Chain A
Amino acid sequence: DAGVIQSPRHEVTEMGQEVTLRCKPISGHNSLFWYRQTMMRGLELLIYFNNNVPIDDSGMPEDRFSAKMPNASFSTLKIQPSEPRDSAVYFCASSAKGVGYEQFFGPGTRLTVL
């Protein structure tokens, strides 16, 4: 199995630009999670999908952030417009049955907003 796939691995953009992060979960997993990791705040849950439906988006910082899961094999996290404080490593994770089960993390996308 290829594991969770994220793209791009690195993204450098200028303030105000739109950024789209992509994730392909492990085949057969029905839960998908987007996290953000920074030195200051650690690993924070942004949003959680179950069977392609958003279950908990209380961690999404503000309206500039949006996430979609159009089908079981693809999800996007979009930031528009991006700001320097959005600089972080963004992880996508999937699990077979939901929150209490093992989450398999992708390699992350390192985002730098100048």
Chain B
Amino acid sequence: TQLLEQSPQFLSIQEGENLTVYCNSSSVFSSLQWYRQEPGEGPVLLVTVVTGGEVKKLKRLTFQFGDARKDSSLHITAAQTGDTGLYLCAGEETSGSRLTFGEGTQLTVNP
């Protein structure tokens, strides 16, 4: 199983601040997905990145896949309280047999 490390594990910021969450591995992934999970619910897909160097934007969220397809980042601009949640990255292993999840980043945006 290929491993994914997320950092930071916990992040507490004020509304309006910017933040970046990182997802790193020593292994290459075919694609990488970012999910957000709210308490009592299952994760919900935010975006999938496939090509090395790819950048995708979803309103105030910017996702980047590393050139070597070993790492990814999620940047949130002007965070809002509604952004609070557990952010999970998940890499599709090159064997195609499974999706490996990172440990998650618990984000709290305070009003």
Footprint of B on A, CB under 8 Å? 4, 33, 35, 42-45, 48, 55-56, 58-59, 91, 93, 98-100, 102-108
Which residues of B lie under 8 Å from residue A48 when comparing CB positions?
97-98
Q: Quick check: A99 and B42 within 8 Å, CB to CB?
A: no
Q: Are B88 and A43 in contact (CB under 8 A)?
A: yes
In angstroms, how far is the closest chain B Cβ from the Cβ of A74?
18
Residues of B within 8 A of A (CB): 1, 30-31, 33, 40-45, 48, 88, 92-93, 96-104
Residues of B within 8 A of A42 (CB): 88, 101-104
A93–B93 CA distance with the chains assembled, in angstroms: 18
| B96 engages A98 (CB within 8 Å) | yes
Known: A105-B43, A107-B42. A99 touches B33 (CB 8 A): no
Of A58, A91, A99, most buried by chain B (CB within 10 Å of CB) is: A99
Give the CA-CA distance A108 to B40 in the complex, in Å.
Answer: 8
Sorted from nearest, which 9 A-B pairs have the closest CB atoms?
A105-B42, A43-B101, A42-B103, A100-B92, A102-B45, A56-B97, A91-B42, A105-B43, A100-B31
Please give 15 more A-B residue pairs, beta carbons under 8 A apart, in addition to A42-B103, A104-B45.
A35-B101, A42-B88, A42-B102, A43-B43, A43-B101, A43-B104, A48-B98, A58-B1, A91-B42, A99-B92, A99-B98, A100-B96, A105-B43, A108-B41, A108-B42
Chain B residue nearest to A48 (CB atoms) is B98
Chain B residue at smallest Cβ distance from A58: B1
What are 11 A-B pairs at a CB distance below 8 A? A33-B99, A42-B88, A45-B100, A48-B98, A58-B1, A99-B97, A100-B99, A102-B45, A105-B42, A105-B43, A108-B41
CA distance A33 to B42 in the complex (A): 13
Which residue in chain A gives the minimum CB-CB distance to B41?
A: A107
